[in-house]
Amino acid sequence: MTIDFHAHPIPENFKIGLKNMGINPIEDDGFPLPDWSITEHLDFMEKANIDYTVLSLPSPHIHNGNNEKSKKYARLINEELNNVVDKNKDKMGFVACLPLPDIEASIEEIKYSFDELGALGVKVPTNSNSVYLGDKKLDKVFKELDNRKALVIIHPNRARKVPDNVITSTTAALYEYPTDTTRAILNMIANNTMVKFPNIKFIVPHTGSFLPYMLQRYKGISNILASKGMMESVNVEDNIKNLYFDIAGDPEPIALDMLLMIADEEHIVFGTDYPHSPAPVILNKKEHFEKNEKWKTIINKIYTENGKRLLNIS
């Protein structure tokens, strides 16, 4: 059984909501929303030998400062996704989107999505209008998720301020996505988020992004700052030991090796990034990954065992 933890629907209410909130994906991410349909997604799953997919909304995040519109479209999107998966229960489920940084509306949407729609978890952006994961403003939301032992899929969102006229500021997927993911996880560590909310099952995208490189640097510099009273001391290992990581993107030939230096084999799951990554590209990468003898002893954990444990599938 192969489970895909990083795949995106493009529901109609998402497109309508972005338009009505004045959020342009090309301006925001430097990349248009790809075409998507449930029929094409199921066809891709069959060709890729994927048995089950966890659908999570892509960027841009559905908030531009208007709480009412964000709340409205989060509800419409989640209900639309529920209708999609309800017709394909044996093949897929979804994680709900939240109108962050609106705290009370997000808690309301968690309750509705879990209790009424049967969502598998929630998707959260690395930042929502510059409120980053790890910010104490979000603690009430994470408390609700912790009480539910929730699955939380993290997805990058472009930072509100990036330098102009450099290649890294063009298509967000090139640099800003892994940068913002790493920024958010470091902020979560600094604020002890994973220790405070130990029951949440966080999935970090794209083979950990830049975290395998940054973690040791963070440990060294944070210890110096803590010794000078410039920040609180936290136990980095206690914060990262329960994180999960998907391998969407380019795990070979370097990224997965680096990830395994900071994460154990039981905390890595499969992801495709479909449809943002085209089906033929994913199929080629997947075939190469499966033929690589290097991963022979862990591929079943990545494809099947770890994911079944996250989703409580016997």
- The whole-chain average pLDDT of the chain stands at 95
Q: What is the dihedral of CA 162, 172, 106, 67, to 10 degrees?
A: 60
Dihedral over Cα of 142, 124, 3, 10: its sign: positive
Q: What is the mean pLDDT of residues 160-174?
A: 87
Task: Name 1's Cβ contacts closer than 8 Å, sequence gap at least 6.
Answer: 51, 52, 303, 304, 308
| Residues of the chain above pLDDT 90, percent | 89
Q: How many Å apart are CA 90 and CA 79, to the nearest integer?
A: 18
Cα distances (angstroms) measured from residue 174 to each of 73, 110, 156, 165, 220: 28, 31, 12, 14, 27
Q: What is the mean pLDDT of residues 172-183?
A: 93
Name the pLDDT band for 120 (thresholds 50, 70, 90). Answer: very high
CB 55, CB 9: distance < 8 Å: yes
Higher pLDDT, 187 or 170: 187
At position 106, the amino acid (one-letter code) is S
For residue 53, the surrounding DSSP H or E stretch is: strand 52-55
Task: Name 279's Cβ contacts closer than 8 Å, sequence gap at least 6.
Answer: 44, 47, 48
pLDDT at 169 over 90: no
pLDDT at 314 over 80: no
User: What does the block give as tokens for 4?
Assistant: 């895909």
Q: How many Å apart are CA 105 and CA 111, to the nearest integer?
A: 10
Q: How many Å apart are CA 114 and CA 284, to the nearest integer?
A: 36
Full-model pTM:
0.96
pLDDT digits (tens, 9 = 90+) for 54-111: 999 999 999 989 999 999 999 999 999 999 999 999 999 999 999 999 999 999 999 9
DSSP string, 222-257: HHHHHHTTSS----HHHHHTT-EEE--S-IIIIIHH
pLDDT digits (tens, 9 = 90+) for 11-60: 999 999 999 999 999 988 888 999 999 999 999 999 999 999 999 999 99
What residue ranges do the domains of the chain occupy? 3-310
Q: Name which CATH class applies to 3-310.
A: alpha beta
The whole-number pLDDT of residue 273 equals 97
Residue showing tokens 């479209």: 73
DSSP string, 145-204: HHHTT-EEEEE----S---SSSGGGSSTTTTHHHHHHHHHHHHHHHTTHHHHSTT-EEEE
Angle 185-181-112 from CA coordinates, rounded to 5°: 80
The whole-number pLDDT of residue 212 equals 95
Q: What is the mean pLDDT of residues 204-212?
A: 97
The whole-number pLDDT of residue 201 equals 98
The whole-number pLDDT of residue 313 equals 85
pLDDT at 265 over 90: yes
Q: What is the mean pLDDT of residues 109-136?
A: 97
